[in-house]
Chains A and B, each alone.
Chain A
Amino acid sequence: MSSFATVDSATRQTQGDSLTAEDVQGLGAKASEDVAAYAAMLGDDALMLGQRLSWWISRAPEMEEDIALANIALDLTGHTRFLYSYAGTAWDKTEDDLAYFREEEEFRSARLMEQENGDFGQTIARQLIASYYMLGLYTALLDSKDETLAAIAAKAVKEVEYHVDHANQWVLRLGLGTELSKHRIEEGLYYMWPYVDELFEDLELHTRLAEQGIAVLPSSLRAEFDERIKHVLDTAELEIPQTPQAMSGQRTGRFSELRAYILAELQVFARKHPGATW
């Protein structure tokens, strides 16, 4: 198995515990180029958000949230593991190769997932949007003609339901709490709202794969998302922020510098000691 790593490592080069392509290959087929690109794109979203949420460990406002955000991050990282392992079957790469040894411009994560944590209100605002998006996405993906994607979605959707519940509860608490808590969630929503449209933008890859019944067309998820978000915000006595949408970079990373900082922290150790395991 080849690796993206270009530096020889003095440390032991083994698989460690990473899922092998065979683990996931045993479930279905080898992914085609397009399906692999799509799976990697979904994995990129989960990776970035999981990485952002991990920062809260030891820093959350209370112990229970420290654990909650860590658990959510763990679920997301699990989604990344399956999605990357499946994508890797097309290129003979492992989940580690895709996470640690790709360059910034090779990722296709949505900018919402990459946005800074800010304060707790800002993080919850991002969670509200991201969780409802993923709930719609994975529910629709249950019907994918690609068995492996459908199987991954079947696991992910159950976990994302708990993420949605967590976000709902916090949006309600913050919105219906004090003047300060309401202000913080309002600010958070205002900060995150410009990145909503990109989640529901149809790229050529989406259109090609949706025609084959494999991928979910992002635009098809928008109506239900709007309805659900409006319901939560109405109940929390909050408003949909009136802000323009950020110019789309079509998930390439254009018009945003945040991805580089996330990857710098995520990738540095693996790159310094390629193949290290413990």
Chain B
Amino acid sequence: MTTHPLRPTDPEAAKVWDTAASVPDPEIPVISIADLGILRDAAIIDGTAVVTITPTYSGCPAMDHITREVEEALVAAGYENSRVDLVLQPAWTTDWITEEGREQLRDYGIAPPVHAAGDPRQGPIKLTLAPPPPVPCPRCGSTRTKNIAQFGSTSCKALYSCEDCLEPFDYFKVH
């Protein structure tokens, strides 16, 4: 398992990171907040364990839950003083999902984002009735899949169906 690129090298800060990184996403319990790119930093500042996280979608209701879980994890790990800070910038992007994270999503039955996020300033929105790029089925790998709905069970997901194995699955949208 590769080390997360943002995991601090300082051993004390790394311990705080590992504690926070043990918190799973409440919706997708197989993936940690570190692998999802939500966990941004961990440090000890003036004797306080400080964890920095960033929200995914603006309205994501899981963020409140994640904040509480991280706070509880820090207390359980024995830190007398701790806090969780929220940063909005740089804006969270699916590009921050690690390779491990993508594997974990796939194993769980959620197809990971098929390409990198574009520049928000890019040109006009596509205007055809053509379907979005092919998403491989997380179960059988087939690309004969159909977009049933662009908006799925949560803000971040779309609903697809596989025409080979006939199973429906969630797709984590590029963000």
Chain A residues within CB distance 8 Å of chain B: 17, 23-24, 26-27, 64, 67-68, 70-72, 74-79, 81-82, 135, 139, 142, 147-148, 150-152, 154-159, 161-162, 164-166, 168-169, 172-173, 228, 231-232, 235
Among A78, A139, A154, A231, which residue has its beta carbon within 8 angstroms of that of B89?
A154
- Besides A154-B88, A158-B91, 13 other A-B contacts (C-beta < 8 A): A26-B86, A27-B86, A64-B151, A67-B149, A67-B151, A71-B152, A152-B58, A155-B57, A165-B150, A172-B127, A172-B129, A231-B127, A232-B127
Q: Which of B92, B127, B148, B175 contacts A235 (CB 8 A)?
A: B127
Q: How far is the CB of A34 from chain B (nearest CB, A)?
A: 21
Is B59 a contact of A74 with CB atoms below 8 Å? yes
Contacts of A172 in B (CB 8 A): 127, 129
CB under 8 Å from chain A, chain B span 45-87: 55, 57-61, 64, 85-87
Q: Are A155 and B125 in contact (CB under 8 A)?
A: no
B84-108 residues with Cβ-Cβ distance < 8 A to A are: 85-93
Output the least CB separation between A177 and chain B (Å). 11
Is B30 in the interface zone, CB < 8 Å from A?
Answer: no
Minimum C-beta distance from A229 to chain B (A):
12
Question: What are 21 A-B contacts defined by CB distance under 8 Å?
Answer: A24-B88, A26-B86, A26-B87, A27-B88, A68-B150, A70-B151, A74-B155, A75-B57, A75-B58, A77-B59, A78-B58, A81-B59, A82-B88, A139-B120, A154-B89, A157-B120, A161-B120, A162-B173, A172-B127, A231-B127, A235-B127
CA distance A142 to B120 in the complex (A): 9
- Contact residues in A for B93 (Cβ distance below 8 Å): 158
Q: Which chain B residue shows the least CB distance to A16?
A: B64
A-binding residues in B (CB < 8 A): 55, 57-61, 64, 85-93, 117, 120-121, 124-127, 129, 148-153, 155, 159, 173, 175
Taken together as a complex, chains A and B put the C-alpha atoms of A172 and B86 apart, in Å, by: 40
CB distance from A104 to the nearest CB of B (A): 24
Residues of B within 8 A of A166 (CB): 150-151
Chain B residue, CB-CB nearest to A63: B149
Closest 7 CB pairs of A and B: A78-B59, A78-B58, A151-B89, A151-B88, A154-B91, A68-B151, A64-B149
> Quick check: B89 and A27 within 8 Å, CB to CB?
yes
A148-B88, A165-B150 known; A75+B155 contact, CB < 8 A: yes
- A-side binding surface: helix, strand, loop or mixed? helix
Tell me, rounded to whole Å, the shortest Cβ–Cβ distance linking B113 to chain A.
12
Given the known interface contacts A26-B85, A75-B155, A139-B120, the answer about A151 and B127 at a Cβ–Cβ threshold of 8 Å is: no
Complex CA gap A157/B153 in Å reads 21
Task: Report the separation of the CA atoms of residues A81 and B85 in the bound assembly, to the nearest whole angstrom.
Answer: 16
Q: Are B59 and A142 in contact (CB under 8 A)?
A: no
Contacts of A75 in B (CB 8 A): 57-59, 155
A159-B125 contact given A23-B86, A27-B86, A166-B151, CB 8 Å threshold? no
B87 contact set on A, CB distance < 8 A: 26-27
Q: How far is the CA of A72 from the CA of B153 in the complex (A)?
A: 12
